[in-house]
């Protein structure tokens, strides 16, 4: 059996000499996601952002549970690099946490952030699914 892993483009191919079919598995391009911003416990420290946890059964689903305070945040795909790709709200300054859409911003520009107000601050579970690049989703559940 031969396995070729092309993580850069997000595909894995496995084949056996006797098999005529080659199964193709789509792998996530972003194996880690984080929260950064003054609304999060990490503040604006890109070197030490708050990590999201990848679902053990679905590598495209990430969750984070914790306290969000009044302020702003966004979701980097890497530590230590303000020029990395970010998941961000569709509109800068988004305060409506019932909206489930988000966008992938290559290189983090243009910069957009979610805004947590005094009224919406609290303990949340945030769930993100990045499997379908035409329909990335985010869900905020206040505890």
Phi-psi region of 50 (alpha: psi -120 to 50; beta: other; left: phi over 0): beta
Neighbours of 16 (CB within 10 A): 10
Instruction: Please report the pLDDT score of residue 21 as a whole number.
Output: 67
CA–CA separation, 121 and 47 (whole Å): 24
Nearest 10 degrees: Cα torsion 96, 99, 103, 107 = 20
Give bridge partners of residue 11 from the DSSP assignment.
6, 26
* Cβ-contact 77, 30 below 8 angstroms: yes
Percent of the chain, pLDDT > 70?
80
Write out pLDDT tens, residues 99-114. Answer: 999 999 999 999 999 9
pTM for this entry: 0.82
Q: Is the pLDDT of residue 66 over 90?
A: yes
Query: At residue 1, does pLDDT exceed 50?
Result: no
Angle made by CA atoms 102, 114, 45, in degrees to the nearest 5: 110
Of the pLDDT bands very low, low, confident and very high (cuts 50, 70, 90), residue 6 is very low
Question: Which pLDDT belongs to residue 3?
Answer: 45
Is the Cβ–Cβ distance between 39 and 70 less than 8 Å?
Answer: yes
Give the pLDDT score at 123.
98
In DSSP terms, which residues pair with 26 in a beta bridge? 11
Output the pLDDT for position 9: 44
* pLDDT value of position 2: 45
The predicted-structure confidence for 36-62, as pLDDT tens digits, reads as follows 999 999 999 999 999 999 999 999 999
Average pLDDT value for residue range 132-143: 94
Residue 101: DSSP 8-state:
B
């Amino acid at each position: 059996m031969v396995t070729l892993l092309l993580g850069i483009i997000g595909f894995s191919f496995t084949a056996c000499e006797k098999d005529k079919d080659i199964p193709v598995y789509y792998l996530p391009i972003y194996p880690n996601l984080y929260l950064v911003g003054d609304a999060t416990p990490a503040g604006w420290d890109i070197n030490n952002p708050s990590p999201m946890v990848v679902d053990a059964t679905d590598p495209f689903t990430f969750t984070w549970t914790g306290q969000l305070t009044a302020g702003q945040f966004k979701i980097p795909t890497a530590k230590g690099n303000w020029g990395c790709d970010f998941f961000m709200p569709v509109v800068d300054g988004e305060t409506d946490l019932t909206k489930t859409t988000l966008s992938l911003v290559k290189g983090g520009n243009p910069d957009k952030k979610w805004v947590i107000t005094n009224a919406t601050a609290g303990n949340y579970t945030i769930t993100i699914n990045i499997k379908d690049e035409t329909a990335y989703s985010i869900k905020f559940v206040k505890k």
